[in-house]
Chain A
Amino acid sequence: MRSPKRLGEKIIERLLLLSALVSILLVALIFLFLFREGLPAFAEIPLLSFLTGETWQPVAEEPKYGILPLLSGTMLVTIGAVGVAVPLGISTALYLSEVAGSREKEILKPFIELLAGVPSVVYGFVALTVLATAVQTLFGNTFRLNALNGSLVLAVMILPTIVSIAEDALSAVPMEYKEAAWALGASRWETLRRVVLPAASSGVFIGVILGIGRAVGETMAVLMATGNSPVVTADFFRSIETMTAAIAIEMGEVVYGSVHYSALFAIGLVLFAITFVINLAADAFVERSVRRFKR
């Protein structure tokens, strides 16, 4: 009587486990295919000149495959985006979790969540048509599409990530901490600054890290906002090109199996490695912040 039922249960459990294994399979597939398609590039391009070469000219007479301009482009827009989004994001999170009344919070929060739902191509479109003109009117820059334009639009895109994760972390700080501070005569601001924020710091930090991860990997918005010229520069008013944009633009014109094709996969590999490290760092902080309140 019981054994067929048992057997059914076992089969179901196995099937579910199999589905869960898909995550591991997927990571493995990403690694496998990025290596498979990307590695042949290094038969033609020495690894060192790939990573440190200052010229990215894959379709020139004498093609040059140095990704330094693309790396620096990605870094520049990311730094700019983080510079704008972190102060705004953290103050929004602080305000929502500690200052705003529950009614105000209920009204404001959905707006920030909606921001996360806007597709990146729409952000790119706004950056291309409206923001670029506004920036140019304001600063009189020569390059209409530039790194600043990309940074600003990226900042808006990573805000929801920073706000929601930081807010969760701030809300998770036990009430006792605050009560203890108030009992000692601290004002609400002092409690916020000296007790709540430090206690939630790793959570807030996770939000920032994941925001950086999103900025590094973002494609369409930066592609449409930055002008896409691969130069090594720290000037926010210059046109730049990111790693993601190079892959997206050039993959459409490339001959499958060529050196250029492999080189684009190799950029993907670099990109994947960077975001993987960023995500692992975030994971490590999650563990830490979980342990913190468990005592």
Chain B
Amino acid sequence: MNKRSKETLFFQILRLGTYVTVSTVVALLAYLVYMGSDMLSFSFVTSFPREGMTAGGIYPTVVGTLYLMALVLLLSLPLGVAAAVYLSEYAGERESSLVRIIRIATANLAGVPSIVYGLLGLGLFVLFLGFGFSLLSASLTLSLLTLPVIITASVEALKTVPHSYREAALALGATKWQTTKRVVFPHALPGILTASIIGLSRAAGETAPIMMTGVAYFLSGLPQSVIDQFMALPFHIFALSTQSPNPDLTRPIQFGAVLVLLLLVLSMNLVAILLRTYYRRRLS
């Protein structure tokens, strides 16, 4: 075989691999949209389940998931961004061993399985601190899980701000904090937002950690405070398809719930990807 045809052959193999991957995604999403679209309606999302969850909608699970997301955002974003600002702006060029340890710890935390966060949440929040099996315990657990994602990506966003910006501000007599707050931070904001959206969408889809810290199989009302239990969309899918008396009966509801979760999570991801592409183009 000559050089040319060998090259063509191998490139075609690579192309095949790529298109197998991409068509898996397309097929998967198309199938789920197709199966779920029958159920998808305004009343499905806004009405309570009826008849032992075999009929009706998924309202309390959607509300539960939105509550979770709001609390996670509130708890993890300020802390995560503050940590990132320190690591990127204050830690200095030659990193001390403390900063090095922080970096390694953060990188490692991003790889810790979500179920281990669940164990921590159960041990620390539910039992040790006595928050019980509740919305609060679950939100705190998911916040810890989201934190490393936000820190890592925010550090990267801060690093893309050119050095000359900082130098210009400092040369004008601005303090370190003024420079960070007024010059560096606004430029890194889109990147930080992207990271937060992705972190939050991941938290919204997590199931295992909330199973151990506060989610309920069925509740007749919405949670009234953070110490109440709650229902959540991802757990609802799991519960109906594996824990309910007759999973086949509720299959349409399951597909409907899957589509709602996908729409929620993927639209967030899409916004994040578009935001990033837009700002990357504007910067270059």
Contact = CB atoms under 8 A, between A and B. Distances in A.
A17 to B, nearest CB: 5
B237 A122 contact: yes
B124 A119 contact: no
Contact of A91 (B14, B90, B242, B268): B14
Contacts of A20: 82-83, 86-87, 91, 99, 102
A224 B238 contact: yes
Contacts of A276: 108, 112
A177 interface: no
A120 B207 contact: yes
A29 B122 CA distance: 12
A187 B116 CA distance: 48
Given A19-B82, A87-B17, A108-B22, A210 B111 contact: yes
Contact of B83 (A22, A95, A278): A22
Contacts of B109: 23, 26-27
A16 B262 contact: no
Contacts of B21: 88-89, 92, 112, 159, 163
Interface in A90-134: 91-92, 94-96, 99-100, 108, 110-122, 124-126, 128-130
Contacts of A34: 116, 119-120, 123
A117 B198 contact: yes
Nearest to A210: B111
B70 interface: no
B170 interface: no
Contacts of A293: none
Contacts of B24: 156
A247 B237 contact: no
B10 A189 contact: yes
B269 interface: yes
Contact of B266 (A8, A118, A213): A118
A30 B120 contact: yes
B107 interface: yes
Contacts of B269: 113-114, 116-117
A187 B211 contact: no
B78 to A, nearest CB: 8
Given A112-B25, A119-B234, A187-B4, A24 B105 contact: yes
Question: Would you list the 8 A-B pairs with minimal beta carbon distance, nearest first?
Answer: A119-B205, A217-B113, A91-B17, A19-B82, A117-B269, A16-B86, A33-B123, A189-B7
27 contacts: A15-B82, A19-B79, A20-B83, A23-B102, A26-B144, A33-B128, A87-B17, A94-B14, A95-B14, A110-B270, A112-B22, A114-B29, A116-B269, A119-B261, A121-B238, A122-B237, A129-B241, A219-B115, A219-B207, A220-B207, A220-B208, A248-B212, A251-B211, A268-B116, A272-B116, A279-B108, A283-B104
